[in-house]
Structure 1
């Protein structure tokens, strides 16, 4: 195949990948009607959604912190979206110069930027209360003896959805099912934005295995529950995503690599700053990583002596971000063919300069050692685990009420009837009801619980234990 043919085919592939078709809609998108593109509308729909607002009191790293200035999932998502926009625009500008036919007709670098920006805005929208600690708590609950009776009645894919529960899959469910368009089918975001959002476009069964209702502690990430498998298939067909060589799922959309890089940049730079503010890390520890990411010696960067620690970090962070955005977008263009073929191994950082790789890895290692294992964070995670287990203990038996194989009394007890009253407004809003389909009952209850923010979940768990009026 000639280079001209390769470039032409690449442009055609990108035309599919940047589709403005809305998942769940049969209308053909019209381009150029207004300055506000279909992708800008995606961003706006996300900003004004209930699920996005709930991120304001959901954990980024530190659950239920009362210290001002510490990141929540909302502020984190906003910052990731800003970096994602820069990555998308710069990558598209560089890519345009390498493709024989340039970017697809009617698509500008600014369009690519806002696609990545919108996807980044949504990247944590499915996270349960208390962040990753919440995911671990849900997985752990389904591995306890009580739920085993119901798990035995579910097929293998449904079991894996629960035993390996993933906020990423919950996010896809929110976007394509729960956050309703006035008609139906979720938010009806464009396929390009949903593709960029999907870091793991495969099912739990494609990356995990189960034996006797037990799953390895080394849970592998996935991005779609069995309940939304048809939506994933439709999305992949529209975008022309290739099948993965590692499993039966799909390969990532190339822009998902930029979303992942934007998230990692925030993780490496800004989350460490929170560690300083909470006295978990020192300025010296964090600044040394920033200097490595900048690619210069401390002696070559002259910061005014009157700068505070916060101002100094902000100055170094800005320099580091500039270099990372430039380096990552270079790696994106260099590896364009591999991404289009679904054959890129690792993240874009794995294809950057050695000092950039080392700086990112040092940042992650420092966070693991001194933030994630800090005694104050461990205590809060233990509290979060107990909190979610209490909510699941209370509400989840409603999923199999009336099922004679499960340890339930029939009719419902007074407590179960009142719990159903609390759950009912959620079911009514989404035009659902509990039925004989236990898998979907479980997911509907998880929608209710994981949709709470940290404070709502904590308060309700306290009230269910008889502690009236206990708030955070």
Structure 2
């Protein structure tokens, strides 16, 4: 039996090696050249495109951990993404500087360019998440697998599975390349480097749900973006794996993933402290081991006369610095094998204190934070909210596909709300008679996953005839 690594790839059959000159391609999706701007790199432009997008702005009212939080100090998806981007930039620059010093990347690429790429992917890493966080994902999956399964009956298995196993990561790629700025024509038109570094799970849905991919149920590409996915993978030189529509990860994905892990490990604890779910001693016990011994006495002294809610900022920078330094060193130590398509769990491979700290933070979050009664109550309600919206909208689309010129008044009004002009133009005269319905349902997914927690709740009330005027 041939050995398999952490991500399940067959090492013996990955004989190629990825090259940094391709991995950091500044060409834009569709083969478009990047503008030559003085003192502004194409990757910095990617950052700005994401920041100014509507999809990014709406993250301000989407759940990070605690739905519809009334405490303004609690993280939402926007503040979380901004913080991950800061950590990712630092981690990217640190790794980039080491690569520059070792002359491993092209001369025209700077350490700051690597930082900009990682920062951009970190900004976008949650951009496809629906309202109510991971519960929203689960609610969409549940509805299409049960009440909404009738809408999927004539779709191809791989198309139906995209909806039954809806994934925020795959929706994120759709937002970046299809939904925003230039719909169905490159989307935000980001660089290949940024897009390649964004795809956390470079495979499609059906093999993942059938346990033929490294992470069961996790995937990063819908059928609607499959052609775009292959274009990105080819442009940056990702290694093709054993299996259709499956590639190795872009190396910089690991830096984005580590930055995300570090932030929610540390900042979820801060939110729990703010909400009274955890006390300071529980939080400090997890973070203390990564503080430098030479620094620890001063830190303990600084913490003595400060109330608990103000203690996290005193040690946050020191803890994050330890995390970043460890991750950068680990990445460089394993760079050759990563370029060979031999993936790792970067955080688990960090030095002992860092890996243990992150692991324990996740464990506490799972036991104490994610099962808080307030969170559970709101999550249960979110299923009803999302089910209501999907039922109304999918019914309207179903009528429209069956009778484009003769559907109910209610369905016409629903389509007016969505915007008929926002549907994929490939729906018209498509050679496969069932694919237009899939593309129409994906537009519904765009709408629903693009809702904020507050707008989704408001819309469900409106659809039930219990709404308020605005």
How does the TM-score come out when normalised to structure 1?
0.88
Distance across 2 between alignment mates of 1:196 and 1:403 = 36
Counterpart of 2:365 in structure 1 is 367
Change (3 A) 1:220 1:330: same
Query: Following the alignment from structure 1 to structure 2, what is the Cα–Cα distance between the partners of residues 428 and 413?
Result: 19
Residue 291 of structure 2: aligned partner: 294
Tell me the equivalent position of 1:312: 311
2:246 paired with 1:253: no
Report what 1:63 is aligned to. 67
Q: Does 1:42 align with 2:41?
A: no
Q: Unmatched 5+ residue regions in structure 1?
A: 1-8
Given the alignment, which residue of 123, 142, 155 partners 2:125? 123
User: Per the alignment, in what secondary structure is the counterpart of residue 401 of structure 1?
Assistant: helix
Work out whether 1:273 is the aligned partner of 2:270: yes
Structure 2 matches for 1:134-283, cutoff 5 A?
A: 134-144=136-146, 146-181=147-182, 184-209=185-210, 220-244=217-241, 248-283=245-280
Any idea what the Cα deviations from partners look like across 1:181-205, whole Å, max 9, x if unmatched?
4993211100111111111111112
SS in 2 for 1:45: helix
> Which TM-score applies when normalising by structure 2?
0.89
Q: 1:196–1:336: structure 2 CA closer, same or farther, 3 Å change rule?
A: same
Q: Quick one: distance in 2 between partners of 1:219 and 1:87?
A: 29
Partner residue, 1:462: 461
Please say which of residues 434-443 and 221-230 is displaced more in the overlay: 434-443
Q: Distance in 1 between matches of 2:401 and 2:41?
A: 50
Instruction: Check 1:183–1:155 CA distance in 2 against 1; reply closer, same or farther (3 A cut).
Output: closer
1:303·1:312 contact (CA, 8 Å) conserved in 2?
A: no
For the 8 Å contact 2:129–2:169, the answer to whether it is kept is: yes
Unaligned ranges ≥5, structure 2: 1-15
d(CA) in 2 for partners of 1:26, 1:371: 45
Cα distance, 1:308 vs structure 2? 2.6
Are the counterparts in 1 of residues 280 and 308 from structure 2 also a CA contact under 8 Å?
yes
What does residue 411 of structure 2 align with?
A: 416
What root-mean-square deviation, in Å, do the aligned CA atoms of Structure 1 and Structure 2 show?
Answer: 2.6
Measured in 2, the distance between the counterparts of 1:135 and 1:228 equals 19
Task: Give a deviation string over 1:321-375, Cα, whole Å, max 9, x none.
Answer: 0100000000110111111111123x21121112221111111110011111111
Q: Is the 8 A contact 1:116 1:259 kept in 2?
A: yes
